[in-house]
């Protein structure tokens, strides 16, 4: 039984080899592809009365030609044709540009339909399409809602419309239902065939909406189904290591920490240890706002894996962060006779060789490094746990490399980029999520101010005041997109300026990505020890750096940064008991730019920042990278359809949990859908 929808598009009347090539450039190959090439908007050609029309809107009206048309030529070959048309007893001026040849046809008394942009004050319509109603020829768009498709230079939207119409006529009956009946009933979803018909050529506005709703649900549901099925399979595979963690010993370790854990930290530690003890491989995302104390949670998990007789690896995006984590973990773990190594880019060949040997023999228990750690030939004796910090910097690809490293370690992804739930369950839907939603007690929220560049003198005076009380400051130098060289130049300029300003009183350090690792380390160390008072830096300090005595963060050209990044930067201060400040220097031009600065001054909550940022910019810009793992939906919009997304996720999780899902005939279309993915091909029978 072959599926007629899988035939090439050339089966459609009017599509030959050449047109098929044009369609292929739109990734349309089969009839199914054509039917699933949904419009991104509609053109409304339904006739309306003038009183409903708003100024500047595109409208379609019907009227009678009245009086003589007038043509005016200007420039080389330009013309302007005007004629009066009576519409609802109102005289409207219709204008055509460069269509002077229509003059003969515009005879008084003829009935005409006009579509175009309407100017209310002048009662004027600039016509983009017209149609004489006294002819027998009917245009397809006459009086209807017409789909508008994305296309290429070689194809007209009209052609695509015609082919889709043809495809619907010939093959519409072959469109199969994929959603189980109970779901359709529960959420009042129209059948797939009706939905596809109505998303292209809506019989009414309501029918169009129902079609769109159904297809959006289907898209979100199928996407979640894949994630949930993957999750379920992963758990059932039981190919992880069930670590025998000596819980009492871990408790003892926790009691020995310099501070008691927050309630949220306790909760996530419990979730993580449970995963590690289970037979399946942990695949967990740990989210927590900056400063919520994720590092200590990582330390506990690493301690637990070593106590259970395994090795652990901690991967971070930058060398600075690697070194800082190394210092923190050493302090916490070395007293417990745990061997930790830092595999950094600046290690000598010999040091590196020793570390690799130590990992292979098991003499080294924990290794810290950048993600080069997984890309190279590093062998472990028995790797039990991998933690990645700031996981959004690690792409989907790296995640896979990790899993395919032969061993099946438990994996914990930590991120301080608060991700709104709707995106979290989209991008990381195949993971379990733990959230630290509580800051350690006694933290004062950072006070954030937005100022213009011309207030620099006052900012410097304020900085001086803070430094005089013994605190330290970060100054993030202007960011010029796509030019590391200019960024560096900027950092150097600011450094020179501040060095001059504070000469003889305070030390100003400079940090940027191009410094050799040794010097980066050196300046960071001196800032940590309080010998450097002001650290001028490019955004390399963005993630993770922890110097509690720093209480002031000044960011130049703040409008050039993403809000998540600003929030990260702000998170570098407010880590001690003292009041901290963040000053955003920005002269944004646009309203959105101003709104973004206001958001920063109004809330300190990373999740709130993220939510508002997402609303402002949409999901595509939110992560700012192709690596986000965020899928592109054709119909659904994860921001607007977030409720639907929640529902789809819930239903998908429930369905894959049903034993009947894997065998029942009513779920066969869904299983076939999953099997289109290589991962499931072998794993799903029938």
The residue among 395 and 440 lying less far from ligand ADP, judged by its C-beta, is: 440
The residue among 286 and 431 lying less far from ligand ADP, judged by its C-beta, is: 286
Nearest approach, Cβ of residue 388 and ligand ADP (Å): 13
Which residue in the shown chain puts its C-beta closest to Mg ion?
A: 544
Residue labelled with tokens 């595979």? 237
Nearest approach, Cβ of residue 599 and ligand ADP (Å): 20
Nearest approach, Cβ of residue 553 and Mg ion (Å): 16
The residue among 228 and 539 lying less far from Mg ion, judged by its C-beta, is: 539
554, 467 Cβ separation under 8 angstroms: no
Pairing type for strands 58-74 and 111-119 reads antiparallel
Cα 81 → chain centroid: 49
Distance CA 397, CA 375 (A): 11
265 binds, among Mg ion, ligand ADP, none (CB under 5 to 8 A by kind): ligand ADP
180 binds, among Mg ion, ligand ADP, none (CB under 5 to 8 A by kind): none
Distance CA 142, CA 476 (A): 59
Nearest approach, Cβ of residue 418 and Mg ion (Å): 13
CA nearest 373: which of 304, 326, 330? 326
**End-to-end CA gap in the chain:** 15
Nearest approach, Cβ of residue 329 and ligand ADP (Å): 11
291 binds, among ligand ADP, Mg ion, none (CB under 5 to 8 A by kind): ligand ADP
The residue among 32 and 292 lying less far from ligand ADP, judged by its C-beta, is: 292
The residue among 295 and 448 lying less far from ligand ADP, judged by its C-beta, is: 295
Distance CA 83, CA 124 (A): 10
606 binds, among Mg ion, ligand ADP, none (CB under 5 to 8 A by kind): none
**Number of helices followed by number of strands (H, E) in the chain:** 24, 20
Which residue in the shown chain puts its C-beta closest to ligand ADP?
A: 293
CA nearest 258: which of 527, 416, 438, 440? 440
290 binds, among Mg ion, ligand ADP, none (CB under 5 to 8 A by kind): ligand ADP
Report residue 150 as tokens. Answer: 């994305």
Distance CA 646, CA 89 (A): 52
Distance CA 414, CA 585 (A): 30
**Under DSSP, is residue 439 helix (H, G, I), strand (E, B) or coil?**
coil
| Binding-site ranges for ligand ADP (CB under 6 A) | 259, 261-262, 265, 288, 290-296, 416, 440, 544, 546, 548, 575
Burial code (b: 16+ CB inside 10 Å, e: under 16) for 561-591 equals bbbbbbbbbbbbbbbbebebbbbbbbebeee
The residue among 40 and 259 lying less far from Mg ion, judged by its C-beta, is: 259
97 binds, among ligand ADP, Mg ion, none (CB under 5 to 8 A by kind): none
40 binds, among Mg ion, ligand ADP, none (CB under 5 to 8 A by kind): none
The residue among 60 and 415 lying less far from ligand ADP, judged by its C-beta, is: 415
**Under DSSP, is residue 395 helix (H, G, I), strand (E, B) or coil?**
coil
Torsion 643-649-652-653 (CA) sign: negative
Distance CA 164, CA 640 (A): 27
The residue among 342 and 585 lying less far from ligand ADP, judged by its C-beta, is: 342
261 binds, among Mg ion, ligand ADP, none (CB under 5 to 8 A by kind): ligand ADP
293 binds, among Mg ion, ligand ADP, none (CB under 5 to 8 A by kind): ligand ADP
The residue among 265 and 426 lying less far from ligand ADP, judged by its C-beta, is: 265
The residue among 294 and 471 lying less far from Mg ion, judged by its C-beta, is: 294
Pairing type for strands 124-132 and 90-97 reads parallel
593 binds, among Mg ion, ligand ADP, none (CB under 5 to 8 A by kind): none
Nearest approach, Cβ of residue 543 and ligand ADP (Å): 9
575 binds, among Mg ion, ligand ADP, none (CB under 5 to 8 A by kind): ligand ADP
The residue among 81 and 290 lying less far from ligand ADP, judged by its C-beta, is: 290
Distance CA 83, CA 107 (A): 10
| Binding-site ranges for Mg ion (CB under 5 A) | 294, 544
Q: Percent helix, strand and coil across the chain, each rounded to 5? A: 45, 20, 35
Nearest approach, Cβ of residue 177 and Mg ion (Å): 48
CA nearest 53: which of 131, 124, 144? 124
Nearest approach, Cβ of residue 417 and ligand ADP (Å): 11
Torsion 635-641-644-646 (CA) sign: positive
Nearest approach, Cβ of residue 327 and ligand ADP (Å): 12
Nearest approach, Cβ of residue 557 and ligand ADP (Å): 24
Nearest approach, Cβ of residue 624 and ligand ADP (Å): 20
Residues 6+ apart with CB under 8 A from 678: none
């Amino acid at each position: 039984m072959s599926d007629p929808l899988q035939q090439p598009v050339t089966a459609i009347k009017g599509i030959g080899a050449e047109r098929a090539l044009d369609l292929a450039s739109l990734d349309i190959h089969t009839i199914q592809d054509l039917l699933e090439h949904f419009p991104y908007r509609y053109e409304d050609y339904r006739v309306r009365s003038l009183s409903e029309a708003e100024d500047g809107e595109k409208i379609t009206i019907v009227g009678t030609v009245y009086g003589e048309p007038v043509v005016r030529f200007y420039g080389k070959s330009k013309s302007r044709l005007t004629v009066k048309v009576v519409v609802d007893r109102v005289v409207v001026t219709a204008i055509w540009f460069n269509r002077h040849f229509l003059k003969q046809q515009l005879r008084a008394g003829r009935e005409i339909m006009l579509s175009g942009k309407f100017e209310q004050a002048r009662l004027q319509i600039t016509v983009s399409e017209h149609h004489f109603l006294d002819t027998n020829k009917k245009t397809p768009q006459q009086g209807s809602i017409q789909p508008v498709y994305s296309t290429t230079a070689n194809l007209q939207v009209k052609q695509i419309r015609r082919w889709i119409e043809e495809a619907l006529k010939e093959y519409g009956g072959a469109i199969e239902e994929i959603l189980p009946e109970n779901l359709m009933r529960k959420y009042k979803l129209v059948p797939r065939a009706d939905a596809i018909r109505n998303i292209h050529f809506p019989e009414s506005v309501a029918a169009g909406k129902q079609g769109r709703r159904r297809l959006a649900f289907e898209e979100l549901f199928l996407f979640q189904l894949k994630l949930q099925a993957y999750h379920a399979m992963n758990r059932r595979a039981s190919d992880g290591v069930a670590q025998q963690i000596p819980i009492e010993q871990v408790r003892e370790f926790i009691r020995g920490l310099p501070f008691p854990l927050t309630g949220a930290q306790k909760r996530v530690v419990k979730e993580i240890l449970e995963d590690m003890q289970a037979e399946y491989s942990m695949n967990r995302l740990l989210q927590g706002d900056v400063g919520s104390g994720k590092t200590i949670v990582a330390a506990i998990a690493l301690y637990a894996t070593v106590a259970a007789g395994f090795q652990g690896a901690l991967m971070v995006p930058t060398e600075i962060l690697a070194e800082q984590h190394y210092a923190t973990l050493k302090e916490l773990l070395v007293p417990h006779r745990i061997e930790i190594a830092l595999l950094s880019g600046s290690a000598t060949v010999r040091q590196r060789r020793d570390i690799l040997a130590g990992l292979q023999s098991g003499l080294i228990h924990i290794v810290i490094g950048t993600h080069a750690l997984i890309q190279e030939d590093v062998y472990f004796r028995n790797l039990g746990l991998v933690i990645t910090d700031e996981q959004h910097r690690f792409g989907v690809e790296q995640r896979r490399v990790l899993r395919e490293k032969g061993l099946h370690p438990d994996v914990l992804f930590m991120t301080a980029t608060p991700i709104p739930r709707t995106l979290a369950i989209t991008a990381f839907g195949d993971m379990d999520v733990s959230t630290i939603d509580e800051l350690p007690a006694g933290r004062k929220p950072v006070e954030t101010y937005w100022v213009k560049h011309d207030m620099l003198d006052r900012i410097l005076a304020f900085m001086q005041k803070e430094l005089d009380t013994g605190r330290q400051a970060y100054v993030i130098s202007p960011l010029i997109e796509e030019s590391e060289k200019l960024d560096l130049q900027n950092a150097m300029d600011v450094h020179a300026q501040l060095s001059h300003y504070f000469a003889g009183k305070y030390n100003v350090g400079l940090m940027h990505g191009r410094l050799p690792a040794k010097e980066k380390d050196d300046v960071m160390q001196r800032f940590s020890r309080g010998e450097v008072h002001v650290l001028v830096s490019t955004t390399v300090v963005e993630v993770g750096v922890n110097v509690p005595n720093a209480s002031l963060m000044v960011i130049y050209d703040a409008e050039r940064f993403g809000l998540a990044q600003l929030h990260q930067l702000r998170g570098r201060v407010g880590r001690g008991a003292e009041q901290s400040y963040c000053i955003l220097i920005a002269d944004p031009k646009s309203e959105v730019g101003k709104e973004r600065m206001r958001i920063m001054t109004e809330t300190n909550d990373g999740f709130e920042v993220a939510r508002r940022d997402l609303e402002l910019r949409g999901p595509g810009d939110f992560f700012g990278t192709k690596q986000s793992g965020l899928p592109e939906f054709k119909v659904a919009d994860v921001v607007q359809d977030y409720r639907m997304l929640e529902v789809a996720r819930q239903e998908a999780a429930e369905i894959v949990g049903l034993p009947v899902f894997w065998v029942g005939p009513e779920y066969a279309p869904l299983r076939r859908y999953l099997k289109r993915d290589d991962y499931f091909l072998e794993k799903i029978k029938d």
